[in-house]
Each structure stands twice: as C-alpha cells, then as structure tokens.
Amino acid sequence: MPTISPRAAGLLALISAVLPAAAQPPQEPELPVVTVTANKQPQALERVPASVSAFSGDELEAAGIDSLEGVARMTPGFTFQASGQSGLQPPVMRGLTANTMGFSSSVALVVDGVPTLRGQGFDDNLLGIERVEVLRGPQSTLYGRNAEAGVVSIVTRKPGNDPYAVVSAEVGNRNKRVLRFDASHALVQDTLYLGVAGEFFGQDGFIDNAFKGHKEDDRERRNGRLALRWTPDQRTDATLRYAQQEYRDQGSLWGAATAPRGTVRSGTDSWNGSTARTVSLDVSHELVSGLRLRSVTANNEFTDRIKQDIDFMPADLQHVSRDHHFRTLSQELRLEGQWGQAQWLAGFYADRDDHDLRFGQKIPLGTTTTSATQKGNSTALFTHWSIPLADRWSTTVGGRIEQDEVRFTLAGGGEQSRGWTHFSPKLALQYQWRQDAQVYASVADGFRAGGFNAFAPEAYRRYQPERVRSFELGAKGRLLERRLRYGAAVYLMDVQDMQVQQIGLPGQMFLTNAASARPVGVEAELRYLLGSGWQIQAALGLNHTRFREFQDGANNYKDKHNPLAPDATGHLGLRYDAAQGWYAQAHLNGASKVYLDAANNYGRAGYGVVNLMAGYTFGHTELSAYVHNAGNKTYDTIGCLNGIATIYSPPRELGVRLTWRM
C-alpha cells in the first residue's frame, strides 16, 4: 500500500486549508448597529419608535462637520433661523419656530444631560463628541418644556484607560486659522481619568466698511472642554465637566437692505462679546443588578452681550445693544431598570432660572435702556416604559407632569408672576417585522413655556404656553444585507395658543397667542454602502405649516406661511474611500424659500449649496482640502428689522486641514 511522506502530507494540508479561503468572496461591509439614548436609555436605533437621526463623532469629523448648522444640513426637517450673530441661532424643526424675544425655544439642546432651552446659547462646536442625536417630534415627556418640536442631544466622549489624542490645524481664505485638539489619559489606571479638548478659531470678515476702510465682520472664537472621570468600582461612574465658549466678533453679518451687497458705511463700532459656561456633575450608580440611579447636576450660563449698528451710516443714528445674563441651575434624578421584559425609568427634575436682562436702543430722538429680571422655577415627575406585548409587538408609554412658575420685574416696578401645570403624555405602538426593522405609530404632546414680554408695554406683557399634539407613522431599519439604513415618517401636528410676533405702535414688538396651525409633513433619510469604497447619504424633509387663524389688528394672516419655516429641506452626499488611503466627497444641501414676517412680505429665497472635500491618510496623519459653497451661491435673508436690514450669506470658502491621531 502506497504511503505519503510527512512533507507531502503537510503540503496537502496547507493546500486544503488555503484553497477554500481563497475561493470565498471578500466580505461586503455592512452598516454597524447604532446605539442611541433618545429615550434616556440605551437602545438600538432601529428599535426606537420615533424619528431619530444619529451621527457619530467619527462620522461628523470625516464629513468635515464641526457645528450644529452642519448637523442640521444632514437632518430632514431641521434648520436654523438666520441671525448673523455667533451664539444666537434659534432652531426650526417640523415647521415650528421660536422668536428670540421670548427667551425660549421650540427645540431643546441637551449636552451630556444639561439642557439649553433658548435660542441664545443654542450652539456647540462638536469638540470631543461621541455622537449627536436629533429627535424630531414632541419630546416633552422626557425633556419637559421647550422640547415641543424635538431635541438635539450631544454626548461627549468619556475619558478612559486607553490614551487618546487628536490634533488638527487648519488655514483658509480670508486669513482663516483654526487649531483644535482632543486628548485624554488615565491618571490612575481603572480609577481616575482626565479629558481635555479645545479650539481656537479666527477669520477675517467679508463685509466692506467703506467709511472706516476695513472689514466689518471679523470672527474669533475660543472654546474648551474639561472632563474628570472617577470610577471607584464597577458599579459607580462619576464625571465632572466644565465647558466654555467665547465669541469675540466684530459686527453681525448685516447690512442695509438698500445698500450694495456686502457693503456698509458704519461709523459706529459693532461687536459681539458673548460667553457660554457650563459646569455639571454626572453620577451613575448601580444600586442592585438591573437597577441604576443617575444624577445630573448642572449650572448653565450664557451672557448675550452685543452692540450692533442698524443704520449702517457714518453718524450714530440708530443702534441696538444687549447685555443679557441667563443662568439656569438644574437637577435631574432618575431610576432605570427592568421589570420582566419591560424596560422602564422614573425620574424627578427641577430647575431655577435667574436672568438679568438689559436692552438698549439708540434712535434719532434719543437713547433708551430698559433693565429687567426674569426668574423661574420648574419641577417635574416623569416616567417612561418600553413593554413587549406579543411576538414582534411592543408599546412605549410615558408621561410627565410639570409645574412652571415665571416671575418678572421691570426696573423700578413691582414683581409679576405666572404659573402653569402641564401633563405631557406619549404613546407608541411598534411592530418589529424583522430583527432590525420596524414600523410604528405614535401620539405625543409637547409645550413651550409662557412668559413675559420683557420690553413691551404693560398691555402686551403676558403670553400663554404654546401646546402641540403630534400624530406620527414611521418605518425604519436596515436592508440589503445591512448595507442600507433607512428611516421615513409622516406626521400631523395640532398647534394651539401659537406664540406669534405682533406689532403694536411703531417699534413695539411682542409675543401673543393669537394663532393656531396644523403642520403636516414627510421626512426620509438613508445611508447606503454601495460597495467598492462608495457610499451615499440622503435626507429629505417636506413640511406644510400655515396659519389656520391669525388676526393681527386689521390684518388677517390666515393661510400665510409660518415665518422662518421652509417647506422643504434636503441633503445629498456621495463619498469614495480608496484602498490606497485617499478619499473624496461631495455634499449638496438646500432649503426652500422662507418668510420673515407673518404677512410674508420679506424673506430668503430657496437655495442649494455644494461642499467638496478630498484628503489622504498616511500613518497617523491626514491631509485634507475643502471648498464650502463651491458655486459661491448667494442666499441672503432680506427684510430683517421690518424691512431695513439684510443678513448676508457667507461666500465661498477654501481651506486645508492637517490632522494627527494617536
């Protein structure tokens, strides 16, 4: 009987092991599971019965996104009101807006559990973040007042045992210079960790001051974050955080509506010296297996300090100034656990507002300065349950009862106070038709706080909360061997006691509850890995928000567009990653026309903007180049301040960025 030598046997074994592996086709990439905390508990994105867009920090960095405006461009149904001022960008979502004079917002910004509930300070430069979640539709059940249209939730990266460092330097046209860094390291292994992130940004303006002979709108920003994390054992995790953003700009991106574009003749200095500061302590402790207590204690401050010329002429005929100091101290406690197959949480929230307001105005007849204080207290109890009903069926149910009180004092006058109690329920039914895909239906209530018109005559001083009820049908999941992630929703909202701006005597503007509306819309988004290094990302939001009723004196604005809310927003992105380490991408973003006033006389035309970026990665280093607004598209907001001013859109911008990663 023939025999096989040991050498030949080894060769046959090697051939038999290698050939099957070589015959297998290369494994196609798939989109990873995305975990979000939209409901304040970890869940897979495809299992949340709500419209949620989620972006990881790495994904945003790869796309060159370093602002909330960039996040909004990739999110259906989400934009910002143009203000031309850094640190002041009121959000617009699903057709709902909020006037800055009310010191409230229709969308809440929550950073590591710390809320910002106004357009003033609604900003973040996305330093050292883990992910951004954009929740659309009423979220007052879990987040309370001023979350009637949605929530933008930012989760920053926690420092840990593994050393981490990213440093980038950037230069661009108009003398743009940017330095950003994010680093962390364990001070005591497995116990104490430190994270530090910072940014310096500067850029020359593009608005010519023909009177003074220089640019009018230079920009400078300094930001920083510090996190000290302590994990004394496996059951306790505590993080102390401090964040600060400083804006040191010249004038706003404003000019006279009748002047040549990008030109002013201002003899009055304009500037923005606003600052945001936040200190928070976030503690999580597992009491027993499956039962966790979390506490977030925070002090959130924003100083809105500006002076702005509004006649744009050499003589100081008209200007406005603000020196507002907003302070909110908040405390949230919540228990999280499971009861059988149900996932639940119950919590308590309380905050205290202490706002000092100071508004100045110069007109040809003289200068006036008005000072006031606005204080408030809110307390709430809330609960949220995710309950399996049967095979593939589940329900989400929650409720929040909140009591709000606002106290207002005009300098030299007596204190006025108002209070409200609201119950905000939520109910959703979902069918998981496959492991990572579902359809759902939901109904939810939301509200925006009432208050006082700080700088209006006594007859127009008070306004009520705005109330929203939303009905939504949606579908989301992953298809095509998990290479495509999709989400789509249709919604109908009923808005009562709608807070709208009215005008009394010339120069008197104030909020009232004179309107109602019924926004209806469709949203869709997808991300698709085409293969061979190609991927596509798209988002589309369609919204129809018109006043059902709005009588402003002799003017009837029924069927008019809600100001500042576009009927359509869209995003299309295409990216190619080569095996050799280089990449290229293109993004098209756009929005339809918006109006600035209830009469729909002034506005901003619809637009589309193309952004381009390409780069090469070698070792730990990446070199990239970009062009923002490649077509140099102009989309100015014309008719601000009742028709006298224009907010200029930024011109084309080119730059180069060098990034090093540990």
Q: Is residue 16 part of a domain?
A: no
| pLDDT value for 16 | 43
| pLDDT value for 6 | 46
Tell me, what CATH number does 650's domain have? Answer: 2.40.170.20
Q: Is residue 13 part of a domain?
A: no
507 pLDDT above the threshold of 60? no
List CB contacts of 319: < 8 A, sequence separation 6 or more: 268, 270, 307, 308, 309, 310, 311, 361, 362
Q: Is residue 15 part of a domain?
A: no
DSSP state of 311: S
CA distance 47 to 25: 32
Place of tokens 């009637």: 148
List CB contacts of 606: < 8 A, sequence separation 6 or more: 566, 568, 590, 591, 592, 593, 635
Which range scores top for mean pLDDT: 8-22, 535-549, 632-646?
Answer: 535-549
Domain boundary among the residues 138, 154, 170 is at 154
Task: Say yes or no: 117 and 225 in one domain.
Answer: no
From the number of C-beta atoms within 10 Å of its C-beta (0-12, 13-18, 19+), residue 32 rates as exposed
3 pLDDT above the threshold of 90? no
| pLDDT value for 505 | 55
Task: Say yes or no: 131 and 250 in one domain.
Answer: no
Q: Is residue 628 part of a domain?
A: yes
pLDDT tens-digit map of 14-39: 334 434 444 445 567 889 999 999 89
Q: Is residue 417 part of a domain?
A: yes
Average pLDDT value for the chain: 93
Task: Say yes or no: 615 and 510 in one domain.
Answer: yes
| pLDDT value for 275 | 97
Task: Say yes or no: 407 and 539 in one domain.
Answer: yes
| pLDDT value for 499 | 94
CA distance 219 to 205: 7
Domain boundary among the residues 154, 176, 193 is at 154
Q: Is residue 5 part of a domain?
A: no
| pLDDT value for 516 | 96
111 pLDDT above the threshold of 70? yes
**Which pLDDT band holds residue 112 (cuts at 50, 70, 90)?**
very high
Number of domains in the chain: 2
Task: Say yes or no: 373 and 420 in one domain.
Answer: yes
Domain boundary among the residues 124, 154, 184 is at 154
Q: Is residue 318 part of a domain?
A: yes
Task: Say yes or no: 302 and 401 in one domain.
Answer: yes
Q: Using the Cα atoms of residue 390, residue 392, residue 393 and residue 395 in order, give the sign of their dihedral.
A: positive
Tell me, what CATH number does 112's domain have? Answer: 2.170.130.10
Query: Which of 135-144, 145-154, 216-225, 546-555 is least confident?
Result: 546-555
* CA separation, residue 43 to residues 46, 358, 403, 437, 469 (Å): 8, 44, 29, 13, 25
CA distance 237 to 231: 5
Percentage of the residues of the chain whose pLDDT score is greater than 70: 95
13 pLDDT above the threshold of 50? no
**Which pLDDT band holds residue 502 (cuts at 50, 70, 90)?**
confident
Task: Say yes or no: 64 and 168 in one domain.
Answer: no
Q: Which domain holds residue 547?
A: 52-57+155-661
Residue 122: enclosing H or E segment and its boundaries? none
| pLDDT value for 9 | 46
The mean per-residue pLDDT over the stretch 593-604 comes to: 95
Which has the closest alpha carbon to 467: 447, 485, 487? Answer: 447
CA distance 562 to 96: 8
pLDDT tens-digit map of 114-162: 999 999 999 999 999 999 999 999 999 999 999 999 999 999 999 999 9
Query: What are the φ/ψ torsions at residue 460 (nearest 5 degrees)?
Result: -115, 25
Query: In which order are the strands placed within the sheet that holds 603-604?
Result: 254-256, 645-647, 637-639, 603-604, 594-595
**In terms of pLDDT, which residue wins out, 2 or 493?**
493
454 pLDDT above the threshold of 90? no
DSSP state of 159: P
CA distance 446 to 150: 9
| pLDDT value for 140 | 96
509 pLDDT above the threshold of 70? yes
543 pLDDT above the threshold of 70? yes
| pLDDT value for 327 | 97
| pLDDT value for 219 | 97
| pLDDT value for 427 | 98
Task: Say yes or no: 141 and 160 in one domain.
Answer: no
| pLDDT value for 22 | 41
Task: Say yes or no: 113 and 223 in one domain.
Answer: no
| pLDDT value for 2 | 44
**In terms of pLDDT, which residue wins out, 25 or 257?**
257
Place of tokens 């709608």: 498
Task: Say yes or no: 128 and 216 in one domain.
Answer: no
47 pLDDT above the threshold of 60? yes
Q: Is residue 241 part of a domain?
A: yes
- For residues 406, 242, 272, 460, the Cα torsion angle rounded to the nearest 10 degrees is -10
The mean per-residue pLDDT over the stretch 256-271 comes to: 95
Which has the closest alpha carbon to 324: 377, 298, 360? Answer: 360
| pLDDT value for 12 | 39
| pLDDT value for 27 | 62
Task: Say yes or no: 459 and 360 in one domain.
Answer: yes
The mean per-residue pLDDT over the stretch 592-612 comes to: 96
202 pLDDT above the threshold of 90? yes
pLDDT tens-digit map of 405-425: 999 999 988 899 999 999 999
Which range scores top for mean pLDDT: 13-22, 506-515, 629-638?
Answer: 629-638
Task: Say yes or no: 87 and 203 in one domain.
Answer: no
CA distance 283 to 289: 17
501 pLDDT above the threshold of 80? yes
